[in-house]
Structure 1
């Protein structure tokens, strides 16, 4: 026992001493002070990981340091090593270890991209990045001059997987490569290509060609028609490149203006509840009188007794302790239930739900949907023609992972307005059922390559909500215009009135009508036994006087 304690104490002091040496060597390193590299690879928030971990944790391959030592991923390391051997044969006059030496010199730049502390020494990190960069480079080469179908690209990677599982493996690899925690710096791939090309210019042109083909293939939006080349030096990794192809960098200035000058209040679709008003009782008696002329009791009772009941001072009676409590409970039951539901919500106050009708409800109100070819800046609503313009989005088995990681990137990295997250909240708001998806598919806004429309509806409804407040001026303006148009329609107003004063009040009306009919039945029974005659008229006249 004493010996084990002594060994642990010695081990602790050895680790402590090694830590001090590492800190001293880090401080003595000559780092390029003028080079500032922003962090571009963050960890996915734990709340999202617990909700759907398979969307953020790689299934086959680990790229970069975050998941490198996971046992279930390390089995595929031999494929990456095979890729590195093939890449080494294509290098002109250098060996792979010379590339590793270059990466060791750029260790501080590599570490700067990652938010999490990397517990590797410089040589280990350099070899890891060299092998992963070779694998990513060979994968991207499949998209050079990409004009064919996906399956043709898969066949060029047949050395990695069995032919029967080729397409499935391609989808798994593609999902892993686009995950936020699986990103590696693009300039590492650029350096490998530079060793195979006469100059950086030729290397950048070839890499740009690869990236254009890659983005065309994986992007759910038509975003590459106006791009003939990509400046690879401006993007840290693949996920950032795809994000700025969908959300142009020009949106940053728009977002700054919105944050400082534009404040859009989105009207909520609240419904007015009937208030506790004694006049409702009079209206009920009048309604019963008009609707039940054929009742036998009306032959017994004259009009004056009903008028007497209408003239009873219900306002005074409703103020009595017992009656006032009963009436208040009846009329405010639904309102209290709603407030209790609102108070019981678990969501933090900064998480905002978009208040907008579904596609089906908007279609019934006369709204038409039209597709646009472009990025998210093409979203708008034409109030004059009642046309809702949305970019065409193509959905397949890889789309959910891609969308979730784009949201994770935007939330953790970008400091400006969360345009893409707001777009997913918009789609979540207008899509509730498969009927909504069907209408958007028929309009050409959704290209469904999934199993069915219900699966698409589940995809949008299952999207993680933002962990911070999202305000995007042009999308919020669209929401305001759509809600304003929808609320102004007479058909919508009629449905609200029916829902508020008829459908939601039927329980109260049924209860009061039952009491009234019971009272009238008692009066009828009394009159049939004892007779009312002139005594009843005399009592009513006395009451009216």
Structure 2
């Protein structure tokens, strides 16, 4: 009789042990992620796919790569070698020896290395030395570029290319952490210009890419709550503290329907909030007393070559959940207000829309000329373009529901 010498394994016990190990692995994973979230949440990442797929070029830098996410893009390689010249120019401004300044910059970056890594959703692995080199080089480029702008020397780089760089600096996927930019600023610019603030230095960028007629203000911006330059622009659009922030869901009739109901449309001059919409009642005398004429005052949106890009990046940033969805709410409100080309035409009669000719770098004039022939050849084409930009809010709504359902 043959004896089975293999150990007896109770399948029920083995199943229990397997389930326990899976539970433990999941608990370990949750605890690890909780520690990571509590320390620092990523603020620089690729845009949500539902937004990116509809317009990939809205998130890709055209001239200069900042940070790791687009560092290997073919389009920005030509400018990578030029960053060194900006670093040299910045060091030449300082009184201290270059070696001392660079050593201090490296120390600052290495001290914050883990915090820097936590700011990104990485698409490729980089070593600490590569990250340090990247952060210092990109921060020095930004600071020197801003200094050149502030003293009217950016024209030496060419007006067209400089204009595009402004927009590259506010792309969600093209950022370095603001605290690192501030650290390098303190090590370099403050060393030779102690009375300059970083916010004042960045202001020309915020002003240039501003999508509304009203001038941006930085008086109430907190650097401590700023993740990067796009985050800084987003803060410029937040409502003041005295405006109640609610979460009420309401429906806005279309512009045509409001007009039929007797509502006038006017630009919101000197608004309390950039994106604020308000209804005012104006009393007019008549033979039986007086009657009121409601007027809807709307923010003045400037339509130019990069308006859509700025809007898309601000909305993509809001999808992180780390900030309020001011711009998204504005886009959704405009989507309800503008439902057809007739709505756009109705608003166009009352609502002043500025078409600003802001060109791009040297290799874009032909493309822009084609765009003008296509979209600006007639008033109806202009209306269609405005409608297309505003109605992209539909994509925003779809993104919100997609994110909430996952």
Question: Is TM-score (shorter-chain normalized) higher than 0.5?
Answer: yes
The equivalent of 2:299 in structure 1 is 391
RMSD: 3.3
Of 243, 246, 253, 2:234 maps to 243
**C-alpha offsets along residues 65-85 of structure 1, whole Å, 9 cap, x if unaligned?**
111122332222122121112
- How is 1:299-448 mapped onto 2 (pairs within 5 angstroms)? 356-357=253-254, 359-372=255-268, 373-374=270-271, 375-376=273-274, 378-382=276-280, 385-414=293-322, 416=324, 418-432=325-339, 436-448=343-355
1:247-326 alignment, distance < 5 Å: 247-248=238-239, 250=241, 254-255=245-246, 258=247, 264=249, 266=251
Q: How far 1:135 sits from its partner (Å)?
A: 1.5
2:68 is the counterpart of 1:65: yes
The 1:254/1:420 distance shift into structure 2, 3 A limit, reads same
Write the deviation string for residues 213-271 of structure 1: whole angstroms up to 9, x where unpaired.
Answer: 3322221225556644744343121111111111237499724xx3xxx5x464xxxxx
Instruction: Please state if 1:179 is matched with 2:182.
Output: no
| Equivalent pair of 2:334/2:390 in contact (CA under 8 Å) | yes
Asked if 1:461 corresponds to 2:391, the answer is: yes
Question: Cα 1:74–1:83, aligned 2, differ >3 Å: closer, same or farther?
Answer: same
Shift of 1:437: 3.7
Structure 1 residue ranges, 4+ long, deviating more than 6 angstroms after superposition: none
Q: Deviations over 1:417-457 (max 9, x none)?
A: x2311211222232345554454344244323374333222
Asked whether the equivalents of residues 212 and 229 of structure 1 are also in contact (C-alpha less than 8 Å), the reply is: no
Task: Name stretches of at least 5 consecutive residues in structure 2 with no aligned partner.
Answer: 1-35, 282-291, 358-375, 377-381
Higher percent of residues as helix: 1
Structure-1 residue corresponding to 2:52? 49
Output the CA distance in 2 between the equivalents of 1:241 and 1:250: 17
Take 2:323 and 2:187, find their aligned partners in 1: how far apart are those partners?
Answer: 35
Give aligned pairs, total.
327
Which residue is equivalent to 1:113?
A: 119
Q: CA-to-partner distance for each residue in 1:82-102, whole Å, 9 max, x for gaps?
A: 111211222332436412343
Deviations 1:88-124, CA, capped at 9 Å, x for gaps:
2223324364123431222112112213365111111
Give, in whole Å, the separation in 2 of the partners of 1:176 and 1:238: 10
Q: 1:50 to 1:446 in 2, by over 3 A?
A: same
Instruction: Return closer, same or farther for 1:50/1:173 CA change in 2, 3 Å cut-off.
Output: same
User: In 1, Cα distance between the equivalents of 2:179 and 2:81?
Assistant: 24
**What is the CA–CA distance in structure 2 between the aligned matches of 1:399 and 1:462, rounded to whole Å?**
12
C-alpha distance 137-438 of structure 1, shift in aligned 2 (>3 A)? farther
> In 2 relative to 1, CA 202–437 (structure 1 residues): closer, same or farther, beyond 3 Å?
farther
- Choose which of 207, 212, 216 in structure 1 pairs with 2:207: 216
Segment drifting more, 398-407 vs 460-469: 460-469
Alignment check: 8 A CA contact 1:223 1:246 kept: no
Q: For residues 80 and 434 of structure 1, do their structure 2 counterparts lie closer, same or farther at Cα, with a shift above 3 Å needed?
A: farther
**Residues 120-135 of structure 1 mapped to structure 2, 5 A cutoff:** 120-135=126-141
Distance 2:215 2:312 in 1: 21
Structure 1 residue 189 displacement after superposition: 2.7
Find the structure with the greater CA-based Rg. Answer: 1
Give the match's secondary structure for 1:378. Answer: coil
Query: TM-score, normalized by length of structure 2?
Result: 0.70
Distance in 2 between residues matched to 1:125 and 1:444, nearest whole Å: 47
